[in-house]
Structure 1
Protein backbone atom coordinates (compact mmCIF):
# COMPACT_ATOMS: atom_id res chain seq x y z
CA UNK A 1 0.00 0.00 0.00
CA UNK A 2 1.34 3.41 -0.97
CA UNK A 3 1.76 5.81 1.94
CA UNK A 4 0.75 9.40 1.21
CA UNK A 5 3.75 11.60 1.84
CA UNK A 6 3.69 15.04 3.44
CA UNK A 7 4.47 17.63 0.77
CA UNK A 8 7.05 20.18 1.89
CA UNK A 9 8.37 23.41 0.37
CA UNK A 10 11.79 24.54 1.61
CA UNK A 11 12.54 28.28 1.54
CA UNK A 12 16.07 29.55 2.22
CA UNK A 13 18.27 32.02 0.38
CA UNK A 14 21.42 29.96 0.96
CA UNK A 15 21.55 27.19 -1.67
CA UNK A 16 23.76 24.92 0.43
CA UNK A 17 21.35 25.15 3.39
CA UNK A 18 18.35 24.56 1.14
CA UNK A 19 20.02 21.54 -0.45
CA UNK A 20 20.91 20.09 2.94
CA UNK A 21 17.38 20.52 4.26
CA UNK A 22 15.94 18.95 1.12
CA UNK A 23 18.24 15.95 1.47
CA UNK A 24 17.29 15.45 5.13
CA UNK A 25 13.56 15.73 4.48
CA UNK A 26 13.57 13.50 1.40
CA UNK A 27 15.28 10.81 3.47
CA UNK A 28 12.10 10.53 5.59
CA UNK A 29 9.74 7.83 4.36
CA UNK A 30 6.64 9.96 4.95
CA UNK A 31 7.86 13.26 3.46
CA UNK A 32 8.99 14.76 0.20
CA UNK A 33 10.23 18.19 -0.83
CA UNK A 34 8.10 19.24 -3.78
CA UNK A 35 9.87 22.57 -4.38
CA UNK A 36 12.46 24.99 -3.03
CA UNK A 37 12.63 28.79 -3.14
CA UNK A 38 15.34 31.34 -2.46
CA UNK A 39 13.21 34.28 -1.34
CA UNK A 40 9.79 34.98 0.09
CA UNK A 41 8.19 36.25 -3.12
CA UNK A 42 9.22 33.09 -4.99
CA UNK A 43 7.92 31.03 -2.07
CA UNK A 44 4.46 32.62 -2.31
CA UNK A 45 4.25 31.86 -6.02
CA UNK A 46 5.55 28.30 -5.62
CA UNK A 47 3.06 27.61 -2.85
CA UNK A 48 0.26 29.05 -4.95
CA UNK A 49 1.06 26.52 -7.67
CA UNK A 50 1.90 23.48 -5.56
CA UNK A 51 -0.25 23.94 -2.40
CA UNK A 52 2.10 22.01 -0.07
CA UNK A 53 1.13 20.61 3.30
CA UNK A 54 3.81 22.58 5.13
CA UNK A 55 6.48 25.18 4.39
CA UNK A 56 9.88 25.25 6.11
CA UNK A 57 10.59 28.99 5.98
CA UNK A 58 13.74 31.00 6.60
CA UNK A 59 13.18 34.44 8.12
CA UNK A 60 15.74 36.84 6.67
CA UNK A 61 15.81 36.73 2.86
CA UNK A 62 16.06 39.17 -0.07
CA UNK A 63 13.09 40.46 -2.11
CA UNK A 64 10.54 39.44 0.55
CA UNK A 65 11.31 38.19 4.04
CA UNK A 66 9.89 35.04 5.55
CA UNK A 67 7.45 36.91 7.79
CA UNK A 68 5.63 38.63 4.95
CA UNK A 69 5.76 35.45 2.86
CA UNK A 70 4.21 33.50 5.74
CA UNK A 71 1.46 36.08 6.12
CA UNK A 72 0.57 35.88 2.42
CA UNK A 73 0.81 32.10 2.11
CA UNK A 74 -1.49 31.49 5.06
CA UNK A 75 -3.92 34.29 4.18
CA UNK A 76 -4.41 32.78 0.72
CA UNK A 77 -4.60 29.20 1.98
CA UNK A 78 -1.63 28.10 -0.13
CA UNK A 79 -0.34 25.81 2.66
CA UNK A 80 -1.74 24.28 5.83
CA UNK A 81 1.17 25.36 8.02
CA UNK A 82 4.44 27.29 8.00
CA UNK A 83 7.34 26.33 10.26
CA UNK A 84 10.06 28.96 10.65
CA UNK A 85 13.68 27.86 10.70
CA UNK A 86 15.90 30.35 12.45
CA UNK A 87 19.02 31.15 14.45
CA UNK A 88 19.48 32.66 17.90
CA UNK A 89 20.15 36.02 16.25
CA UNK A 90 16.59 36.29 14.92
CA UNK A 91 14.63 36.71 18.16
CA UNK A 92 12.73 39.85 17.18
CA UNK A 93 11.83 38.35 13.82
CA UNK A 94 10.61 35.14 15.42
CA UNK A 95 8.07 37.04 17.48
CA UNK A 96 6.78 38.78 14.35
CA UNK A 97 6.56 35.45 12.53
CA UNK A 98 4.27 34.12 15.24
CA UNK A 99 2.01 37.12 14.75
CA UNK A 100 2.01 36.34 11.03
CA UNK A 101 0.55 32.91 11.78
CA UNK A 102 3.58 30.61 11.73
CA UNK A 103 2.98 27.34 13.55
CA UNK A 104 6.28 27.51 15.38
CA UNK A 105 10.01 27.69 14.90
CA UNK A 106 13.09 25.54 15.05
CA UNK A 107 16.79 26.30 15.05
CA UNK A 108 18.82 25.78 11.90
CA UNK A 109 21.32 23.61 13.73
CA UNK A 110 18.64 21.18 14.90
CA UNK A 111 19.21 17.59 13.85
CA UNK A 112 17.33 15.82 11.07
CA UNK A 113 15.10 13.94 13.52
CA UNK A 114 13.99 17.10 15.28
CA UNK A 115 13.31 18.96 12.03
CA UNK A 116 11.23 16.03 10.75
CA UNK A 117 9.32 15.85 14.04
CA UNK A 118 8.65 19.60 13.93
CA UNK A 119 7.28 19.36 10.39
CA UNK A 120 4.99 16.48 11.34
CA UNK A 121 3.78 18.40 14.37
CA UNK A 122 3.08 21.51 12.31
CA UNK A 123 0.95 19.52 9.88
CA UNK A 124 -1.02 18.07 12.81
CA UNK A 125 -1.56 21.57 14.22
CA UNK A 126 0.51 20.74 17.29
CA UNK A 127 3.74 22.50 16.38
CA UNK A 128 6.94 21.41 18.05
CA UNK A 129 8.52 24.47 19.66
CA UNK A 130 11.41 24.01 22.04
CA UNK A 131 9.89 25.11 25.38
CA UNK A 132 13.07 26.70 26.72
CA UNK A 133 13.64 28.60 23.48
CA UNK A 134 10.01 29.72 23.39
CA UNK A 135 10.09 31.04 26.94
CA UNK A 136 13.43 32.78 26.41
CA UNK A 137 12.25 34.53 23.25
CA UNK A 138 8.88 35.59 24.61
CA UNK A 139 10.26 36.69 27.95
CA UNK A 140 12.92 38.76 26.19
CA UNK A 141 10.24 40.45 24.12
CA UNK A 142 8.04 40.94 27.15
CA UNK A 143 10.91 42.51 29.10
CA UNK A 144 10.97 45.28 26.50
CA UNK A 145 7.32 45.65 25.62
CA UNK A 146 5.14 44.41 28.46
CA UNK A 147 3.31 47.17 30.32
CA UNK A 148 1.48 44.89 32.76
CA UNK A 149 -1.79 46.71 32.09
CA UNK A 150 -3.91 45.17 29.32
CA UNK A 151 -5.62 47.55 26.93
CA UNK A 152 -9.40 47.61 26.82
CA UNK A 153 -9.51 45.34 23.78
CA UNK A 154 -7.08 42.85 25.31
CA UNK A 155 -8.93 42.82 28.61
CA UNK A 156 -12.13 42.09 26.71
CA UNK A 157 -10.44 39.24 24.83
CA UNK A 158 -9.15 37.72 28.07
CA UNK A 159 -12.53 38.02 29.79
CA UNK A 160 -14.11 36.07 26.93
CA UNK A 161 -12.02 33.00 27.79
CA UNK A 162 -13.49 30.28 29.96
CA UNK A 163 -11.47 29.05 32.97
CA UNK A 164 -10.45 25.92 31.06
CA UNK A 165 -9.46 27.94 28.00
CA UNK A 166 -7.27 30.10 30.21
CA UNK A 167 -5.55 26.98 31.54
CA UNK A 168 -4.93 25.73 28.02
CA UNK A 169 -3.62 29.12 26.89
CA UNK A 170 -1.16 29.24 29.80
CA UNK A 171 0.08 25.74 28.98
CA UNK A 172 0.50 26.54 25.28
CA UNK A 173 2.48 29.66 26.17
CA UNK A 174 4.86 27.52 28.21
CA UNK A 175 5.56 25.29 25.23
CA UNK A 176 3.51 22.25 26.22
CA UNK A 177 2.24 19.89 23.51
CA UNK A 178 -1.41 18.90 23.26
CA UNK A 179 -0.56 15.52 24.73
CA UNK A 180 1.17 17.10 27.73
CA UNK A 181 -1.73 19.49 28.29
CA UNK A 182 -4.23 16.64 28.09
CA UNK A 183 -2.30 14.62 30.67
CA UNK A 184 -2.00 17.58 33.04
CA UNK A 185 -5.70 18.49 32.79
CA UNK A 186 -6.88 14.85 32.68
CA UNK A 187 -8.73 15.27 29.40
CA UNK A 188 -8.30 13.83 25.91
CA UNK A 189 -6.10 15.25 23.16
CA UNK A 190 -9.29 15.94 21.19
CA UNK A 191 -10.66 18.02 24.05
CA UNK A 192 -7.48 20.11 24.15
CA UNK A 193 -7.76 20.70 20.39
CA UNK A 194 -11.35 21.79 20.86
CA UNK A 195 -10.39 24.27 23.56
CA UNK A 196 -7.62 25.63 21.31
CA UNK A 197 -9.92 26.01 18.32
CA UNK A 198 -12.41 27.85 20.53
CA UNK A 199 -9.97 30.17 22.29
CA UNK A 200 -7.80 31.24 19.35
CA UNK A 201 -10.51 33.25 17.53
CA UNK A 202 -11.31 34.98 20.82
CA UNK A 203 -7.77 36.36 21.07
CA UNK A 204 -7.22 36.84 17.34
CA UNK A 205 -4.56 34.12 17.05
CA UNK A 206 -4.15 32.04 13.90
CA UNK A 207 -1.79 29.49 15.45
CA UNK A 208 -0.71 28.15 18.84
CA UNK A 209 2.52 30.12 18.47
CA UNK A 210 0.52 33.32 18.01
CA UNK A 211 -1.55 32.35 21.04
CA UNK A 212 1.64 31.98 23.07
CA UNK A 213 2.78 35.41 21.92
CA UNK A 214 -0.55 36.90 22.97
CA UNK A 215 -0.32 35.28 26.41
CA UNK A 216 2.95 37.05 27.19
CA UNK A 217 2.36 40.33 25.38
CA UNK A 218 -1.06 40.84 26.97
CA UNK A 219 0.32 40.29 30.45
CA UNK A 220 -1.86 37.19 30.92
CA UNK A 221 1.23 35.11 31.67
CA UNK A 222 4.15 36.59 33.57
CA UNK A 223 7.63 35.63 32.35
CA UNK A 224 9.60 33.92 35.12
CA UNK A 225 12.07 36.80 35.39
CA UNK A 226 9.27 39.08 36.66
CA UNK A 227 8.97 36.94 39.79
CA UNK A 228 12.69 36.92 40.60
Structure 2
Protein backbone atom coordinates (compact mmCIF):
# COMPACT_ATOMS: atom_id res chain seq x y z
CA UNK A 1 0.00 0.00 0.00
CA UNK A 2 1.56 3.28 -1.13
CA UNK A 3 0.49 6.48 0.63
CA UNK A 4 0.88 10.23 0.44
CA UNK A 5 0.50 12.16 3.71
CA UNK A 6 -0.73 15.75 3.76
CA UNK A 7 -0.62 17.56 7.12
CA UNK A 8 0.62 21.01 8.09
CA UNK A 9 2.01 19.79 11.42
CA UNK A 10 5.45 18.23 10.81
CA UNK A 11 5.40 16.44 14.16
CA UNK A 12 2.09 14.78 13.31
CA UNK A 13 3.36 13.83 9.85
CA UNK A 14 6.56 12.29 11.19
CA UNK A 15 4.65 10.37 13.87
CA UNK A 16 2.11 9.08 11.36
CA UNK A 17 4.84 7.96 8.99
CA UNK A 18 6.48 6.00 11.80
CA UNK A 19 3.19 4.41 12.91
CA UNK A 20 2.20 3.45 9.37
CA UNK A 21 5.54 2.06 8.26
CA UNK A 22 5.74 -0.31 11.21
CA UNK A 23 3.59 -2.35 8.85
CA UNK A 24 5.86 -3.79 6.18
CA UNK A 25 3.15 -3.56 3.52
CA UNK A 26 2.73 0.22 3.93
CA UNK A 27 5.06 2.72 2.31
CA UNK A 28 4.76 6.51 2.73
CA UNK A 29 5.97 7.87 -0.60
CA UNK A 30 6.07 11.53 0.34
CA UNK A 31 4.77 14.05 2.87
CA UNK A 32 3.12 17.36 1.99
CA UNK A 33 2.32 20.22 4.33
CA UNK A 34 -0.55 21.97 2.56
CA UNK A 35 -3.56 21.30 0.39
CA UNK A 36 -1.82 23.09 -2.47
CA UNK A 37 0.70 20.25 -2.61
CA UNK A 38 -1.90 17.48 -2.53
CA UNK A 39 -2.77 17.40 -6.23
CA UNK A 40 0.85 17.87 -7.28
CA UNK A 41 2.02 14.93 -5.15
CA UNK A 42 -0.94 12.81 -6.18
CA UNK A 43 -0.16 13.36 -9.87
CA UNK A 44 3.52 12.66 -9.29
CA UNK A 45 3.11 9.40 -7.39
CA UNK A 46 -0.39 7.99 -8.13
CA UNK A 47 -0.64 6.60 -4.58
CA UNK A 48 -3.09 3.94 -3.48
CA UNK A 49 -4.38 6.32 -0.81
CA UNK A 50 -3.90 9.99 -0.01
CA UNK A 51 -4.24 10.55 3.74
CA UNK A 52 -5.00 14.19 4.38
CA UNK A 53 -5.87 16.63 7.16
CA UNK A 54 -8.78 19.04 6.65
CA UNK A 55 -7.84 22.31 8.34
CA UNK A 56 -4.60 23.55 6.82
CA UNK A 57 -3.11 26.89 5.81
CA UNK A 58 -3.75 28.21 2.32
CA UNK A 59 -5.81 25.39 0.73
CA UNK A 60 -7.74 23.09 3.08
CA UNK A 61 -8.20 19.38 2.63
CA UNK A 62 -11.73 19.62 1.24
CA UNK A 63 -10.70 21.96 -1.58
CA UNK A 64 -7.66 19.81 -2.28
CA UNK A 65 -9.89 16.73 -2.36
CA UNK A 66 -12.18 18.30 -4.96
CA UNK A 67 -9.19 18.99 -7.22
CA UNK A 68 -7.92 15.44 -6.84
CA UNK A 69 -11.33 13.92 -7.60
CA UNK A 70 -11.61 16.14 -10.69
CA UNK A 71 -8.26 14.73 -11.84
CA UNK A 72 -9.01 11.11 -10.87
CA UNK A 73 -12.56 10.11 -9.97
CA UNK A 74 -11.27 6.80 -8.57
CA UNK A 75 -8.88 8.42 -6.09
CA UNK A 76 -8.97 7.04 -2.56
CA UNK A 77 -9.04 10.13 -0.36
CA UNK A 78 -9.03 9.56 3.39
CA UNK A 79 -9.38 12.43 5.83
CA UNK A 80 -7.55 12.20 9.12
CA UNK A 81 -8.49 15.08 11.38
CA UNK A 82 -9.32 16.18 14.90
CA UNK A 83 -12.48 17.96 13.73
CA UNK A 84 -15.93 16.40 13.68
CA UNK A 85 -17.85 19.37 12.28
CA UNK A 86 -21.05 18.43 10.41
CA UNK A 87 -20.01 20.70 7.55
CA UNK A 88 -16.69 18.90 7.06
CA UNK A 89 -18.27 15.45 7.30
CA UNK A 90 -20.95 16.33 4.74
CA UNK A 91 -18.44 17.86 2.34
CA UNK A 92 -16.20 14.81 2.61
CA UNK A 93 -19.16 12.53 1.87
CA UNK A 94 -20.28 14.62 -1.06
CA UNK A 95 -16.91 14.73 -2.80
CA UNK A 96 -16.56 10.94 -2.56
CA UNK A 97 -13.99 10.45 0.20
CA UNK A 98 -13.35 6.81 1.10
CA UNK A 99 -12.77 7.53 4.77
CA UNK A 100 -13.12 10.10 7.54
CA UNK A 101 -11.01 9.18 10.56
CA UNK A 102 -10.12 10.93 13.80
CA UNK A 103 -6.48 11.38 14.79
CA UNK A 104 -7.21 10.52 18.41
CA UNK A 105 -8.36 7.07 17.29
CA UNK A 106 -4.85 6.27 16.03
CA UNK A 107 -5.02 2.55 16.85
CA UNK A 108 -7.66 2.06 14.16
CA UNK A 109 -5.95 4.01 11.37
CA UNK A 110 -4.04 1.08 9.87
CA UNK A 111 -7.01 -1.36 9.98
CA UNK A 112 -9.16 1.35 8.39
CA UNK A 113 -6.67 1.88 5.56
CA UNK A 114 -6.57 -1.85 4.89
CA UNK A 115 -10.37 -1.94 4.74
CA UNK A 116 -10.34 0.93 2.26
CA UNK A 117 -7.86 -0.97 0.09
CA UNK A 118 -10.43 -3.80 0.11
CA UNK A 119 -12.93 -1.35 -1.44
CA UNK A 120 -14.79 -0.53 1.74
CA UNK A 121 -15.74 2.96 2.90
CA UNK A 122 -14.64 3.64 6.47
CA UNK A 123 -15.70 6.32 8.90
CA UNK A 124 -14.54 6.66 12.48
CA UNK A 125 -16.87 5.79 15.32
CA UNK A 126 -17.57 9.43 16.12
CA UNK A 127 -18.60 10.08 12.53
CA UNK A 128 -20.86 7.03 12.40
CA UNK A 129 -22.53 8.06 15.66
CA UNK A 130 -23.19 11.50 14.21
CA UNK A 131 -24.79 10.06 11.08
CA UNK A 132 -26.76 7.30 12.81
CA UNK A 133 -29.97 9.22 13.68
CA UNK A 134 -30.75 9.88 10.01
CA UNK A 135 -31.87 6.28 9.42
CA UNK A 136 -33.13 5.08 12.81
CA UNK A 137 -36.76 5.04 11.68
CA UNK A 138 -36.12 2.75 8.72
CA UNK A 139 -36.97 -0.90 9.23
CA UNK A 140 -34.52 -3.40 7.76
CA UNK A 141 -37.27 -5.79 6.73
CA UNK A 142 -38.63 -3.15 4.33
CA UNK A 143 -35.76 -4.06 1.97
CA UNK A 144 -36.05 -6.98 -0.39
CA UNK A 145 -33.21 -9.46 -0.77
CA UNK A 146 -32.44 -7.92 -4.16
CA UNK A 147 -32.22 -4.42 -2.68
CA UNK A 148 -30.06 -5.67 0.19
CA UNK A 149 -27.68 -7.28 -2.33
CA UNK A 150 -27.44 -4.12 -4.43
CA UNK A 151 -26.62 -2.01 -1.37
CA UNK A 152 -23.96 -4.53 -0.35
CA UNK A 153 -22.33 -4.35 -3.79
CA UNK A 154 -22.31 -0.53 -3.67
CA UNK A 155 -20.75 -0.66 -0.21
CA UNK A 156 -18.00 -2.90 -1.58
CA UNK A 157 -17.09 -0.16 -4.03
CA UNK A 158 -18.38 -1.70 -7.27
CA UNK A 159 -19.46 0.67 -10.02
CA UNK A 160 -22.68 0.20 -12.04
CA UNK A 161 -21.00 -1.81 -14.79
CA UNK A 162 -19.38 -4.20 -12.28
CA UNK A 163 -22.67 -4.59 -10.39
CA UNK A 164 -24.49 -5.34 -13.65
CA UNK A 165 -22.06 -8.19 -14.33
CA UNK A 166 -22.65 -9.65 -10.86
CA UNK A 167 -26.45 -9.50 -10.89
CA UNK A 168 -26.89 -10.12 -14.65
CA UNK A 169 -28.88 -6.94 -15.28
CA UNK A 170 -28.21 -4.20 -17.78
CA UNK A 171 -26.15 -1.25 -16.57
CA UNK A 172 -29.16 1.02 -17.10
CA UNK A 173 -31.34 -1.19 -14.92
CA UNK A 174 -28.76 -1.14 -12.15
CA UNK A 175 -28.53 2.65 -12.38
CA UNK A 176 -32.32 2.98 -12.08
CA UNK A 177 -32.53 0.56 -9.16
CA UNK A 178 -29.81 2.36 -7.24
CA UNK A 179 -31.53 5.71 -7.87
CA UNK A 180 -34.74 4.20 -6.49
CA UNK A 181 -32.87 3.00 -3.40
CA UNK A 182 -31.39 6.46 -2.80
CA UNK A 183 -34.90 7.90 -2.87
CA UNK A 184 -36.38 5.12 -0.71
CA UNK A 185 -33.72 5.46 1.99
CA UNK A 186 -33.59 9.26 1.71
CA UNK A 187 -29.83 9.37 1.18
CA UNK A 188 -28.01 11.68 -1.21
CA UNK A 189 -25.48 9.47 -2.93
CA UNK A 190 -23.67 6.13 -3.12
CA UNK A 191 -21.35 7.01 -0.27
CA UNK A 192 -24.25 7.53 2.12
CA UNK A 193 -25.82 4.34 0.77
CA UNK A 194 -22.62 2.53 1.76
CA UNK A 195 -22.73 4.13 5.20
CA UNK A 196 -26.31 2.94 5.60
CA UNK A 197 -25.13 -0.60 4.81
CA UNK A 198 -22.34 -0.55 7.43
CA UNK A 199 -24.60 1.02 10.03
CA UNK A 200 -27.67 -1.12 9.56
CA UNK A 201 -27.21 -4.17 7.36
CA UNK A 202 -23.73 -5.63 7.68
CA UNK A 203 -23.66 -8.59 10.03
Report the TM-score when normalising by structure 1.
0.61
CA deviations over 1:50-89 (Å, ceiling 9, x no partner): 1101011111112211112112212212873111112244
Gaps of 5+ in 2: 136-142, 157-161, 183-187
**Contact map agreement 1:67 1:97 (CA 8 A) in 2:** yes
- Give, in whole Å, the separation in 2 of the partners of 1:91 and 1:48: 30
User: Of residues 99, 102, 105 in structure 1, which corresponds to 2:100?
Assistant: 105
- Given the superposition, is the C-alpha separation of residues 171 and 77 from structure 1 closer, same or farther in structure 2, using an over 3 Å criterion? closer
Gaps of 5+ in 1: 1-5, 144-161, 179-189
Q: Does 1:24 align with 2:19?
A: yes
> 1:25 Cα deviation (Å)?
1.1
User: Of residues 45, 48, 52 in structure 2, which corresponds to 1:53?
Assistant: 48
- Give, in whole Å, the separation in 2 of the partners of 1:31 and 1:103: 18
**75-84 or 34-43: which moved more?**
75-84
CA deviations over 1:157-197 (Å, ceiling 9, x no partner): xxxxx945643577799xxx75xxxxxxxxxxx98x957x9
**Contact map agreement 1:85 1:107 (CA 8 A) in 2:** yes
Partner of 2:115: 121
> Helix, strand or coil for the counterpart of 2:68?
helix
- Give, in whole Å, the separation in 2 of the partners of 1:73 and 1:41: 11
1:147-226 to structure 2, matched below 5 A, reads: 163-164=144-145, 166-167=147-148, 198=174, 202-203=178-179, 211-213=190-192
> 1:35 Cα deviation (Å)?
0.8
- Give, in whole Å, the separation in 1 of the partners of 2:80 and 2:57: 16
- Give, in whole Å, the separation in 1 of the partners of 2:54 and 2:177: 26
Aligned residues: 175
- Give, in whole Å, the separation in 2 of the partners of 1:45 and 1:163: 45
- Give, in whole Å, the separation in 2 of the partners of 1:168 and 1:7: 31
Partner of 1:90: 85
- Give, in whole Å, the separation in 2 of the partners of 1:87 and 1:172: 31
